[in-house]
Structure 1
Amino acid sequence: MTELNKKNVLVTGSNGQLGSELRRFSSEFTTHFRFFFTDVADLDITDRQAVDAYIKEHSIAYIVNCAAYTAVDKAEDDVELCYKINRDAIASLAVAATNNGARIIHISTDYVFDGTANAPYTEDIETNPQSVYGKSKCEGEIELLKACPESIVIRTAWLYSIYGNNFVKTMMKYGRERDELNVVADQTGTPTNAADLAQAILRILEHSYTKAFESGIYHYSDEGVTTWYDFTLEIHRLAGIDCKVNPIATDQYPTKAKRPMYSVLSKEKVKTVFGISIPQWQESLAVCISEMENG
């Protein structure tokens, strides 16, 4: 394939967990795509004119937006900045994409739901966010689909990776430093290795190039269900850490932002539409910890 037939892909927030994984696996998808990785120092997505100019200058066909304000508890006080990044910047991206004929794949979160369900959340269940972070991400989805309805929104949950700071690294660190830990055991969800989500996004891009851009809202996490407590036990088992872990209730570990008690996502739609195979969370955790331990 000639360079002329390649489509240009802009990945925003590329220094984060997911952006870093996209960068890592992008070399396997260069037949059809040329990637441009930016973070806030290269492109401030809250600057509408800068975004519009960048998309125009680089003839961007697809935007994968991984940029987000994700400090869930801090967001309760840092409301203005949280909304600026998670809602207003998305509106700017949407307008710029529409003006320049680009398509958007936007990453969202399980926090758009209230966490009161007892069966996996499908994409058509009504949102009801309970935190500033969740509300800002929910409104970002609304702004995007209003300005650029032919977009893809991917909601994910409990993200971790070999990059950045995350729950897996924290539990490994504390497990090695302390004799015992208290971990919440009544919040249920599914851990997601950002490497798996990155590869799913790249396959969705490939599908968009060779078949069609299937706009809409999709859910992606790894397969299976667990609690933060059981997740910690598996982290320690795989990492060979000997530390006593005590299960506690959410009200014994108060946080500024309210967490969803149940945030298992149904993945049937993304699997059916894009033919994506999703690994069990335990398998992916083992891969991640092995990469961390072996460099």
Structure 2
Amino acid sequence: MSILVFGRSGQVATELATSPDVIALGRAACDVTDADAIRAAIESRAPKAIINAAAYTAVDRAEAEPDAAAALNARAPAVMAEVAAARGIPFVHISTDYVFDGSGDAPRAPNAVPRPLNVYGATKQDGEEAVRAAGGPHAILRTSWVFSAHGANFVKTMLRLGAERDALSIVSDQIGGPTPARAIAEACLKIAAQLSDNTELSGTYHVSGAPDVSWADFARAIFEAAGLDCTVTDIPTSAYPTPAARPLNSRLDCAATAEAFGIGRPDWRAHLDLVLKELA
């Protein structure tokens, strides 16, 4: 099954590129801010499925660069989805927990009303709406707190800081599911294959790691697994201001994904061990 992936250097795209069925296009091969380039890439390769793993993910910088964020997160997937719909190609689009406002403490279901707190989340919501509006077979896959041995992520940051310092203050009132990029990639491939056989599965789904945890407790787990002696002090989000507001509750209800595709929540603790071995 020939699968065209937009994105090449991101965490999920890097994992997707290891599949022999995948043709992964980085910026040099296809500038996704160029609608004609997207159309040409799809038309010339005639894939059986398309996965969009390209995104503007600099959450804080997006506050000062809303148009750049919108170009990648909203306008690019709109073009991809339109071309895919016109050709009847299943389209899997990766989205985020940041489309929600993080209120309450219950896991958000896929049909919960989005209320993004920041530019990044708003542009991702716009991208979701464009994919749905295209009308083709699709799956919007929201995820959270992505980590891997590649690129920039919380695990790699903690490993660096934990090796440099004896103590760190980490936010403890933001709760979510750390999600291994490898598990997201595997989910995308499985969903793409099943969409090809059953377009009635089109819709919005969630995948996030289990168990849900705070950033502070995630940091503690990283230090313990890596054998780093670094003390973590819990602090509230209010003590760590950032340009972009973050949702306090990033819990995602993943039941629909398990029911439709047989994809359960990955155990981030087991994947953390694998990432540490890969980095070593």
Give TM-score, length-normalised by structure 2.
0.96
- Match of 1:19? 13
The answer as to 2:205 corresponding to 1:205 is no
> Counterpart of 1:82 in structure 2: which amino acid?
A
Q: How does 1:1-295 map onto structure 2 within 5 Å?
A: 7-24=1-18, 26-27=19-20, 34-209=21-196, 211-213=197-199, 214-293=201-280
CA distance in 2, matches of 1:100, 1:40: 23
Matched letter for residue 19 of structure 1: A
Off by >6 Å, runs of 4+ in structure 1 = none
2:92–2:191 contact (8 Å) kept in structure 1: no
Residues 91 and 192 of structure 2 are in contact (CA less than 8 Å); yes or no, is this contact kept in structure 1? no
Asked whether the 8 Å contact 1:61–1:101 carries over to 2, the reply is: no
Q: How far apart are the structure 2 equivalents of 1:105 and 1:123?
A: 15
SS state of the match for residue 249, structure 2? coil
Contact 1:130 1:258 in 2 (8 A): yes
Among all aligned residue pairs of Structure 1 and Structure 2, give the percentage whose two residues are the same amino acid: 39
In 2 relative to 1, CA 230–196 (structure 1 residues): closer, same or farther, beyond 3 Å?
same
C-alpha distance after superposition, 1:64-119 (max 9, x if no partner):
00000000000000111011111111111122222333221000000000000311
Secondary structure of residue in 1 paired with 2:33: coil
TM-score (structure 1 length as normaliser):
0.91
Q: Which amino acid aligns with 1:17?
A: Q
Looking at structure 2, the residues matched to 129 and 232 of structure 1 have their Cα atoms a distance apart, in angstroms, of 25
CA contact (8 A) 1:10 1:36 kept: yes
1:149 CA drift (Å): 4.4
**Matched length:** 279
Alignment partners' CA distance in 2, 1:50 and 1:99 = 16
Alpha-carbon contact 1:47-1:92 (below 8 Å) kept: no
Q: How far off its partner does 1:140 sit?
A: 0.6
Give the Cα separation in 1 of the matches to 2:129 and 2:264.
28
Shift of 1:241: 0.3
| Structure 2 spans left out of the alignment, 5+ residues | none
1:106-152 deviation digits (Å, cap 9, x = unpaired)? 00000000000311111111110010000000011001111234311
| Alpha-carbon distance in 2 for matches of 1:140, 1:187 | 25
TM-superposed CA distance for 1:206, in Å, is 3.0
Which SS does the other structure have where 1:60 is aligned?
A: coil
Contact 1:218 1:270 (8 Å CA) reproduced: yes
Aligned residue number for residue 3 of structure 1: none
Which amino acid is 1:212 matched to? N
Please, which moves more after superposition, 75-84 or 94-103?
Answer: 94-103
Call closer, same or farther: CA 1:151–1:207 in 2, change over 3 Å: closer
> Aligned-pair RMSD on alpha carbons?
1.3
Q: What SS does the aligned partner of 2:250 have?
A: coil
Tell me the amino acid that sits aligned with residue 168 of structure 1. V
Alpha-carbon distance in structure 2 between the residues aligned to 1:117 and 1:137:
21
Q: Which runs of 5+ in 1 are unaligned?
A: 1-6, 28-33
Give 1:208 deviation, angstroms: 3.2
Assess if the C-alpha contact under 8 Å between 2:89 and 2:136 holds in 1: no
